[in-house]
Structure 1
Amino acid sequence: MKRVSNLLKSLSKNRRKGLAWLIDPEKTNSVPQFSWLKESPLDLILVGGSGLVASVFEEAIQSLKPLAGEIPICIFPGSHLQLSPNADAILFMSLISGRNPEFLISQQVKAAPQVAEMGLEVLPTGYLLVNGGELLSVHSVSQTLPLSNGDIDLVRATALAGKFLGMRYFYLDAGSGARVPVSPSIIAEVKRSVNCPLIVGGGLNSPEKVRAAYEAGADLVVIGNAIEKDPGFLAEVLDVKQSYNFIEY
């Protein structure tokens, strides 16, 4: 059952907007406290983190599953150790913005046999780190530098290369805790060039920034632990999403 791919394709095709929450179990106080998840209008839950070990990751997935209800849980892997048969899907990502073979292909080779055995829905995803020059934890772990918000031509060429290599989904990420998100001009150019479902995250810590990402062409916006710090933030962002989709919750 291709729940997540159908979701992303539907958002892109129908020009609707989706919202995902990225949960890093290392940065949350307690997964079981999220009893409100089942009733929320979130479209997707992503689980992952750059430093998670396998046991912590699996425990988080198992704890989230009964809380998520009908909301799909998708793996946002930081390494080949972050896999679980209890998830619904996996963003099978290649870090195409960097040149470190470990995250271009090596981690994927290590994960592939287990992913096949688990029967996870697989989403071939081109992952691009793009920001205003900040070096964050994701850059340290991946041993790569982000592409610049100011270098539209290079970002566009990188995304196109991913498309020509067969990637069907794209994720533009400024990095967790980024002060400056991916610029609207970058989002718009990548969306125009690849014409594929586009996910955007990192640094989207205000309704204004979320709206700017949607306006530029993001199909699915990802917000992080700002929800836990300020539960009211989720309501604000959902209002932004609602204004594009014209539906009532």
Structure 2
Amino acid sequence: MEEYRNWRHIFKLDPNKEISEEDLEKLCESGTDAIIIGGTDDVTLDQTIHLLASVRRYSVPCVLEVSNVESVTPGFDFYFIPTVLNSQDKKWMIDLHHQAIKTYGELIDWEELMVEGYIMLNPESKAYQHTNANLPTEEDVIAYAQVAEHLFHLPFVYLEYSGTYGDRALVEKVKHAVNETLIVYGGGITTKQEATEMAEVADMVVVGNIIYDDIKAALRTVHAVKKVDQNEGGL
């Protein structure tokens, strides 16, 4: 069940955005390690099921990143549950999770659930504003990552720059501050070079928005990330 620990490149698809069957096939057959389905705005069950059915035609692992309880459906390999560590509203850390488990706890296969400790780092992003996040200092980010690993024993810390390219030096410092928790980078990757730079300092690189703007550029990020491991023998 821990195959995810070897993932390096992930495409993230938003159920609320249009993608052609041709482009979807290219993504799923690209060599990426997994497809995450998830989004911030107006994600519905019908959209999620439709996208899941399309991805399931291919062998790539498929993950649901749960943005609301209403869009949860069986059939995914894993269910990633975000908890926003730098939110000023505890509902994004525990309350929504508590309510979901109170309602559906008896139906949950706990081995399929993975909690992501999100740190929101782009104040201009919808996700940052939606979760009422507070911009952390470098020291705060490192401390959040250590809390996630040593107190909460989370499998992932997700450094979310959502829509803008992030601070590579900070990502590297966070990576060196933890041992077992995996560092996931997401946000603003549009080129091979950016994918390479972040793959050198993070365990996983998530590529999302560029899929809908330039599918060829998105596909080139797969090889760029894999090449880092070929050149350096992995992290």
Q: TM-score range by the shorter chain?
A: 0.7 to 0.9
Name the counterpart of 1:83: 72
2:25 alignment partner, SS class: coil
Q: Does 1:145 align with 2:134?
A: yes
Matched, 1:6 2:3: yes
Is residue 161 of structure 2 the alignment partner of residue 174 of structure 1? Answer: yes
- State the one-letter code of the partner of 2:45: A
Q: CA deviation at 1:38?
A: 4.2
1:116 Cα deviation from its structure 2 partner: 5.8
Residue 48 in 1 paired to residue 34 in 2? no
Question: Which whole-Å CA distance do the structure 2 matches of 1:97 and 1:211 have between them?
Answer: 27
Q: Report the alpha carbon displacement of residue 118 of structure 1 after superposing the two structures with TM.
A: 4.7
The amino acid that maps onto 1:48 is G
Q: Would you say how many aligned residue pairs link Structure 1 and Structure 2?
A: 226
Residue 65 of structure 1 corresponds to 56
User: Gaps spanning 5+ residues in structure 1: where?
Assistant: 12-17
Structure 1 runs of 4+ aligned residues shifted over 3 Å read 29-33, 113-116
Given residue 47 of structure 1, which amino acid in structure 2 is its aligned partner?
I
Change (3 A) 1:26 1:7: same
The SS at the match of 1:94 is strand
- Structure 1 position 245, deviation (Å): 2.7
- Correspondence for 1:211 among 170, 177, 196: 196
1:97 aligns with 2:86: yes
SS for the counterpart of 1:41 is: coil
TM score, norm. by length of structure 2? 0.86
Match of residue 15 from structure 1: none
C-alpha contact (below 8 Å) 2:36/2:64 kept by paired residues: yes
- SS of the equivalent of 2:32 reads coil
What is the Cα deviation at residue 153 of structure 1? 0.5
The 8 Å contact of residues 210 and 221 in structure 1, kept in 2 or not, is answered as yes
**Given that residues 171 and 200 in structure 1 are in contact (C-alpha distance below 8 angstroms), is that contact kept between their aligned partners in structure 2?**
yes
Q: For 1:125, give the aligned amino acid.
A: E
2:175 paired residue among 191, 210, 216: 191
Q: Identify which range, 114-123 or 219-228, moves more after superposition.
A: 114-123
Opposite residue 144 of structure 2, the aligned amino acid is T
Question: 2:228 is matched with which residue?
Answer: 244
| 1:229 pairs with 2:220 | no
SS of 2:93 mapped into structure 1: helix
* Structure 1 SS opposite 2:71: coil
Distance 1:25 1:126 in 2: 22
Task: Deviation per CA, 1:54-113: give whole Å up to 9, x if none.
Answer: 3322332223222xx221111122222231211110112210121211110112123335
State yes or no: 1:157 paired with 2:143.
yes
Question: What is the RMSD of the two structures over their aligned residues, measured on CA atoms?
Answer: 2.2
Give 1:31 deviation, angstroms.
Answer: 5.6
| Structure-1 separation of matches of 2:189 and 2:212 | 14
CA displacement, residues 16-59 of structure 1 (integer Å, 9 cap, x when unaligned): xx111110021224467523344220101010111212332233
The change in CA–CA distance for 1:93 and 1:235 in structure 2 (over 3 A counts) is closer
Give 1:207's aligned amino acid: K
Q: Distance in 2 between matches of 1:20 and 1:115?
A: 28
Q: Report the counterpart of residue 19 of structure 1 in structure 2.
A: 9
Bigger shift: residues 238-247 or 41-50? 238-247
Q: Percent identity?
A: 19
TM-score (norm 1): 0.81
Q: Which residue of 1 aligns with 2:118?
A: 127
> Is this contact kept in 2: 1:135–1:145, CA < 8 A?
no
Aligned partner of 1:205: which letter? T
1:191 CA displacement: 1.1
